[in-house]
Amino acid sequence: MAKVIVSIRDLEYTYLPGTPLASVALRGASLLVHQGEIAALVGPSGAGKSTLVHFINGLLRPQRRGQVLVLGQDLGAPDCDLTSLRRQVGLVFQFPHQQFLERYVGDDIAYGPRQMGLPLAQVRERVRWAMELVGLDFEAFVDRPTFSLSGGEMRRVALAGVLALRPQLLILDEATAGLDPQGRRQIHQVLRRLRDKEGMSILLVSNDMDEVAELADTVTVLRDGKTVLAGPLKEVFSHPQDLSRCGLGYPAGYQIVQEFAQRGIDLPGAPLRLAEVEEAIWRALSS
């Protein structure tokens, strides 16, 4: 079993506690992320997903209840080293323009490595590497103003800016929401490459069950600030009623398998990913 790099247990959190505006966001949230996996965090809007991930790089600190352990550090400890943590945990927000710090693409992606005090040659090398990973041509994009980018390009620049820090853990908070299918597919390819070739661990916050089914190794379901279901992908999707109770849909692959079952054709192995479903259909048809 792979090493656990994020372990959150029974976390509670209230915004503006003790004021008339107090709002309870987490009431017993738990989350595990293992080294080298894509872990999905899903749940309806307002469930507390963004609040929860803000604990992982120390933007929020535990109040009274709950434990947050990230890459060997206890975020509840007063001597926790947030600077080193923020270099190891890269967070990509939902709205990329919130992330841009510079006017030009190259400068923006270089911002993090420059802050780390890396020599110029290394900064340039990292910018090139990160741009290549996300599929942005270096020469074509390095001098483009960030305001002139399309939505999909903005996401990729924001992602490259975080990757340039070479984080051990990459967190995407609904970073593919609102992208067109092609833009989303490109990001998916990047994420798979990061996991498979770079050994990066990825926490994907998403509301898109198709995306989760295609990419995730494990899934954690959050509802009203509480973790209600967690485990390997297939295990979590074997409780479809629980998912629908949380206002979440089913992935397309799951629906296809159900429709075949209703017509008396069993597709064995409970396939979820479309490629697996297709293979199972071919096997069923040829047997």
Ligand X SMILES: Nc1ncnc2c1ncn2[C@@H]1O[C@H](COP(=O)(O)OP(=O)(O)O)[C@@H](O)[C@H]1O
Residue 23: name its binding partner from ligand X, Mg ion, none (Cβ under 5 to 8 Å by kind): ligand X
CB of 73 to ligand X, least distance (A): 22
CB of 246 to ligand X, least distance (A): 11
CB of 276 to ligand X, least distance (A): 29
Residue 186: name its binding partner from ligand X, Mg ion, none (Cβ under 5 to 8 Å by kind): none
Q: Where are the beta strands (DSSP E) in 93-238?
A: 169-173, 201-205, 218-223, 226-232
Give the phi and the psi of residue 136 in degrees, each rounded to 5.
-110, 125
Residue 47: name its binding partner from Mg ion, ligand X, none (Cβ under 5 to 8 Å by kind): ligand X
Residue type, 13: Y
CA 209-99-102 angle, to 5 degrees, is 145
In sequence order, what DSSP letters do the residues of 74-101 get, joined into one string? ETTSTT--HHHHHHHEEEE-SSGGGT--
- Binding residues among 12-41 for ligand X as defined by CB under 6 A: 15-16, 23, 25
Regarding 219 and contact with ligand X (CB under 6 A), the answer is no
Binding mask 41-80 for ligand X (x = CB under 6 A): --x-xxxxxxx-----------------------------
CB of 239 to Mg ion, least distance (A): 23
Intra-chain end-to-end CA distance of the chain, in Å: 36
Binding Mg ion (rule: CB under 5 A), the pick from 6, 39, 50, 226 is 50
Sheet of strand 73-74, all strands in order from the earlier edge strand to the far edge: 23-34, 4-15, 67-70, 73-74
For residue 151, give the nearest of 127, 202, 187 by alpha carbon. 187
Regarding 206 and contact with ligand X (CB under 6 A), the answer is no
Residue 131 or 187: the one with the smaller Cβ distance to Mg ion is 187
CB of 89 to Mg ion, least distance (A): 17
CA 111/CA 124 separation, integer angstroms: 11
Residue 46 or 151: the one with the smaller Cβ distance to ligand X is 46
Neighbours of 154 (CB within 10 A): 21
CB of 70 to ligand X, least distance (A): 18
Residues that bind ligand X (CB under 6 A): 15-16, 23, 25, 43, 45-51
